[in-house]
Amino acid sequence: MTRERYHRILHDVEQELLQMGEMVIAVIDRSIQALKNVDKTEAERIIADDARINRRRWEIENQCIQLFATQQPVAGDLREIVSFMDLITNLERMADHAKGIAKIVIMHDQQPLLKPLIDIPRMAEKASEMIRKSLIAFITQDVAAARCIIEMDSEVDAFFQQIFRELLTFMMEDPKTITRAIYLIWVSHNLERIADRTTNICERIVFLVTGENIGE
Protein backbone atom coordinates (compact mmCIF):
# COMPACT_ATOMS: atom_id res chain seq x y z
CA MET A 1 0.00 0.00 0.00
CA THR A 2 1.37 3.39 -0.96
CA ARG A 3 1.48 6.20 1.57
CA GLU A 4 -0.99 8.13 -0.57
CA ARG A 5 -3.52 5.30 -0.40
CA TYR A 6 -2.86 4.84 3.30
CA HIS A 7 -3.67 8.49 4.02
CA ARG A 8 -6.74 8.33 1.79
CA ILE A 9 -8.09 5.38 3.76
CA LEU A 10 -7.22 7.13 7.01
CA HIS A 11 -9.19 10.17 5.83
CA ASP A 12 -12.20 7.93 5.14
CA VAL A 13 -11.93 6.48 8.64
CA GLU A 14 -11.81 10.00 10.08
CA GLN A 15 -15.05 10.90 8.28
CA GLU A 16 -16.77 7.78 9.60
CA LEU A 17 -15.49 8.63 13.06
CA LEU A 18 -17.06 12.08 12.85
CA GLN A 19 -20.34 10.53 11.69
CA MET A 20 -20.27 8.11 14.62
CA GLY A 21 -19.65 11.04 16.95
CA GLU A 22 -22.70 12.86 15.58
CA MET A 23 -24.75 9.69 16.08
CA VAL A 24 -23.68 9.60 19.72
CA ILE A 25 -24.45 13.30 20.26
CA ALA A 26 -27.88 12.78 18.67
CA VAL A 27 -28.73 9.83 20.91
CA ILE A 28 -27.72 11.81 24.01
CA ASP A 29 -30.09 14.60 22.96
CA ARG A 30 -32.85 12.07 22.20
CA SER A 31 -32.44 10.45 25.61
CA ILE A 32 -32.78 13.79 27.40
CA GLN A 33 -35.86 14.69 25.33
CA ALA A 34 -37.37 11.30 26.14
CA LEU A 35 -36.69 11.97 29.82
CA LYS A 36 -38.29 15.42 29.68
CA ASN A 37 -41.44 13.93 28.19
CA VAL A 38 -41.24 10.62 30.09
CA ASP A 39 -41.64 9.13 26.61
CA LYS A 40 -41.42 5.36 26.98
CA THR A 41 -41.91 4.74 23.25
CA GLU A 42 -38.98 6.96 22.29
CA ALA A 43 -36.89 5.40 25.05
CA GLU A 44 -37.54 1.95 23.57
CA ARG A 45 -36.51 3.24 20.13
CA ILE A 46 -33.26 4.60 21.57
CA ILE A 47 -32.45 1.23 23.12
CA ALA A 48 -33.18 -0.56 19.83
CA ASP A 49 -31.14 1.98 17.83
CA ASP A 50 -28.06 1.35 19.96
CA ALA A 51 -27.29 -1.60 17.69
CA ARG A 52 -26.63 0.86 14.83
CA ILE A 53 -23.90 2.60 16.82
CA ASN A 54 -22.43 -0.74 17.84
CA ARG A 55 -22.27 -1.80 14.18
CA ARG A 56 -20.59 1.48 13.22
CA ARG A 57 -17.98 0.90 15.93
CA TRP A 58 -17.14 -2.58 14.57
CA GLU A 59 -17.07 -1.33 10.97
CA ILE A 60 -14.50 1.33 11.85
CA GLU A 61 -12.51 -1.12 13.93
CA ASN A 62 -12.40 -3.56 11.02
CA GLN A 63 -11.03 -0.80 8.80
CA CYS A 64 -8.30 -0.16 11.36
CA ILE A 65 -7.48 -3.85 11.43
CA GLN A 66 -7.22 -3.80 7.63
CA LEU A 67 -4.68 -1.00 7.91
CA PHE A 68 -2.68 -3.16 10.31
CA ALA A 69 -2.87 -6.08 7.88
CA THR A 70 -2.01 -4.23 4.68
CA GLN A 71 0.43 -1.60 5.97
CA GLN A 72 3.38 -2.18 8.20
CA PRO A 73 2.77 0.83 10.44
CA VAL A 74 5.73 2.78 11.72
CA ALA A 75 5.64 4.10 15.30
CA GLY A 76 3.58 7.22 14.54
CA ASP A 77 1.13 5.34 12.31
CA LEU A 78 0.76 2.60 14.91
CA ARG A 79 -0.12 5.08 17.67
CA GLU A 80 -2.64 6.77 15.38
CA ILE A 81 -4.43 3.55 14.43
CA VAL A 82 -4.53 2.37 18.05
CA SER A 83 -5.90 5.78 19.03
CA PHE A 84 -8.71 5.43 16.50
CA MET A 85 -9.68 2.11 18.05
CA ASP A 86 -9.56 3.56 21.55
CA LEU A 87 -11.68 6.54 20.48
CA ILE A 88 -14.47 4.49 18.90
CA THR A 89 -14.59 2.31 22.01
CA ASN A 90 -15.15 5.42 24.13
CA LEU A 91 -17.83 6.68 21.74
CA GLU A 92 -19.62 3.34 21.85
CA ARG A 93 -19.56 3.44 25.66
CA MET A 94 -21.02 6.97 25.60
CA ALA A 95 -23.92 5.64 23.55
CA ASP A 96 -24.37 2.96 26.21
CA HIS A 97 -24.71 5.69 28.83
CA ALA A 98 -27.37 7.39 26.70
CA LYS A 99 -29.12 4.01 26.45
CA GLY A 100 -28.89 3.87 30.24
CA ILE A 101 -30.83 7.14 30.43
CA ALA A 102 -33.47 5.67 28.12
CA LYS A 103 -33.80 2.68 30.46
CA ILE A 104 -34.37 5.09 33.35
CA VAL A 105 -37.21 6.69 31.37
CA ILE A 106 -38.83 3.26 31.10
CA MET A 107 -38.32 2.68 34.82
CA HIS A 108 -40.39 5.84 35.48
CA ASP A 109 -43.32 3.84 34.11
CA GLN A 110 -45.06 7.08 33.07
CA GLN A 111 -44.78 8.63 36.53
CA PRO A 112 -44.19 12.38 36.28
CA LEU A 113 -40.66 13.64 36.83
CA LEU A 114 -39.86 14.67 40.38
CA LYS A 115 -39.11 18.21 39.19
CA PRO A 116 -38.72 20.18 35.97
CA LEU A 117 -35.34 19.53 34.36
CA ILE A 118 -32.99 22.51 34.47
CA ASP A 119 -29.41 21.45 35.17
CA ILE A 120 -29.61 18.01 33.55
CA PRO A 121 -30.23 19.41 30.01
CA ARG A 122 -27.42 21.94 30.56
CA MET A 123 -25.16 19.13 31.68
CA ALA A 124 -26.05 17.14 28.56
CA GLU A 125 -25.35 20.13 26.32
CA LYS A 126 -21.93 20.63 27.91
CA ALA A 127 -21.08 16.94 27.51
CA SER A 128 -22.13 17.02 23.84
CA GLU A 129 -20.05 20.15 23.27
CA MET A 130 -17.06 18.33 24.74
CA ILE A 131 -17.60 15.37 22.41
CA ARG A 132 -17.82 17.48 19.27
CA LYS A 133 -14.76 19.55 20.18
CA SER A 134 -12.76 16.46 21.12
CA LEU A 135 -13.40 14.85 17.74
CA ILE A 136 -12.20 17.94 15.93
CA ALA A 137 -9.14 18.09 18.19
CA PHE A 138 -8.43 14.44 17.42
CA ILE A 139 -8.65 14.92 13.65
CA THR A 140 -6.49 18.06 13.76
CA GLN A 141 -4.23 16.67 16.50
CA ASP A 142 -4.71 19.89 18.45
CA VAL A 143 -3.10 19.33 21.84
CA ALA A 144 -3.97 22.79 23.17
CA ALA A 145 -7.66 22.24 22.37
CA ALA A 146 -7.55 18.80 23.97
CA ARG A 147 -6.17 20.26 27.19
CA CYS A 148 -8.92 22.92 27.22
CA ILE A 149 -11.61 20.27 26.76
CA ILE A 150 -10.20 18.31 29.71
CA GLU A 151 -10.66 21.44 31.84
CA MET A 152 -14.34 21.56 30.76
CA ASP A 153 -14.91 18.30 32.61
CA SER A 154 -14.90 20.24 35.89
CA GLU A 155 -18.01 22.12 34.69
CA VAL A 156 -19.84 18.83 34.16
CA ASP A 157 -18.68 17.62 37.59
CA ALA A 158 -20.06 20.83 39.11
CA PHE A 159 -23.45 20.17 37.49
CA PHE A 160 -23.41 16.66 38.93
CA GLN A 161 -22.67 17.91 42.45
CA GLN A 162 -25.38 20.56 42.20
CA ILE A 163 -27.96 18.05 40.98
CA PHE A 164 -26.99 15.54 43.66
CA ARG A 165 -27.28 18.11 46.47
CA GLU A 166 -30.65 19.34 45.23
CA LEU A 167 -32.10 15.85 44.92
CA LEU A 168 -30.72 14.87 48.31
CA THR A 169 -32.72 17.75 49.77
CA PHE A 170 -35.89 16.40 48.15
CA MET A 171 -35.27 12.94 49.61
CA MET A 172 -34.61 14.30 53.11
CA GLU A 173 -37.75 16.42 53.09
CA ASP A 174 -40.05 13.74 51.71
CA PRO A 175 -39.06 10.03 51.64
CA LYS A 176 -41.78 9.41 49.04
CA THR A 177 -39.58 11.19 46.49
CA ILE A 178 -36.59 8.88 46.98
CA THR A 179 -37.17 6.57 44.00
CA ARG A 180 -37.70 9.35 41.46
CA ALA A 181 -34.83 11.37 42.92
CA ILE A 182 -32.51 8.38 42.55
CA TYR A 183 -33.61 8.02 38.91
CA LEU A 184 -32.46 11.58 38.20
CA ILE A 185 -29.20 11.02 40.08
CA TRP A 186 -28.59 8.02 37.83
CA VAL A 187 -29.27 10.17 34.76
CA SER A 188 -26.77 12.80 35.88
CA HIS A 189 -24.23 10.08 36.67
CA ASN A 190 -24.55 8.74 33.11
CA LEU A 191 -23.88 12.23 31.76
CA GLU A 192 -20.90 12.62 34.10
CA ARG A 193 -19.47 9.37 32.75
CA ILE A 194 -19.93 10.58 29.17
CA ALA A 195 -17.82 13.65 29.99
CA ASP A 196 -15.21 11.40 31.64
CA ARG A 197 -14.95 9.31 28.48
CA THR A 198 -14.50 12.48 26.45
CA THR A 199 -11.65 13.36 28.78
CA ASN A 200 -10.16 9.94 27.98
CA ILE A 201 -10.23 10.86 24.29
CA CYS A 202 -8.44 14.14 24.96
CA GLU A 203 -5.80 12.45 27.06
CA ARG A 204 -5.26 10.08 24.14
CA ILE A 205 -4.81 13.07 21.79
CA VAL A 206 -2.08 14.46 24.02
CA PHE A 207 -0.35 11.07 24.09
CA LEU A 208 -0.71 10.60 20.32
CA VAL A 209 0.94 13.91 19.51
CA THR A 210 3.45 14.33 22.34
CA GLY A 211 3.92 10.87 23.81
CA GLU A 212 3.03 12.34 27.22
CA ASN A 213 0.68 10.25 29.35
CA ILE A 214 -1.44 12.71 31.37
CA GLY A 215 -4.09 10.16 32.36
CA GLU A 216 -2.19 8.73 35.29
List for the chain the helix, strand, coil content (%; round to 5).
Answer: 90, 0, 10
- Residue 75's pLDDT is 64
Which one is predicted more confidently, 192 or 70?
A: 192
CATH of 3-210, one of 2.60.410.10, 1.20.58.220, 1.10.630.10, 3.40.630.90: 1.20.58.220
Residue 211, burial from CB neighbour count under 10 angstroms (0-12, 13-18, 19+)? exposed
What is residue 81's predicted lDDT score, i.e. its pLDDT?
Answer: 86
Q: What is the pLDDT of residue 214?
A: 80
pLDDT over 80 (residue 13) = yes
Distances (CA, A) of 86 to 6, 57, 70, 99: 19, 10, 20, 20
pLDDT at 1: 54
Mean pLDDT of the chain: 92
At 206, is the pLDDT very low, low, confident or very high (cuts 50, 70, 90)?
A: very high
pLDDT in the model for residue 68: 75
pLDDT at 71 over 80: no
* DSSP 8-class letter at 38: T
Instruction: Give the Cβ contact number of residue 54 at 10 Å.
Output: 13
Q: For residues 72 and 59, what is the distance between their CA atoms, to the nearest angstrom? A: 21
What value does the mean pLDDT take over residues 157-175?
97
Is the pLDDT at 25 greater than 80? The verdict is yes
| pTM for this model (two decimals) | 0.93
* Of the listed ranges 6-20, 94-108, 133-147, the one predicted with least confidence: 6-20
- Please answer whether residues 103 and 111 qualify as being in contact, where contact means their C-beta atoms are separated by less than 8 angstroms: no
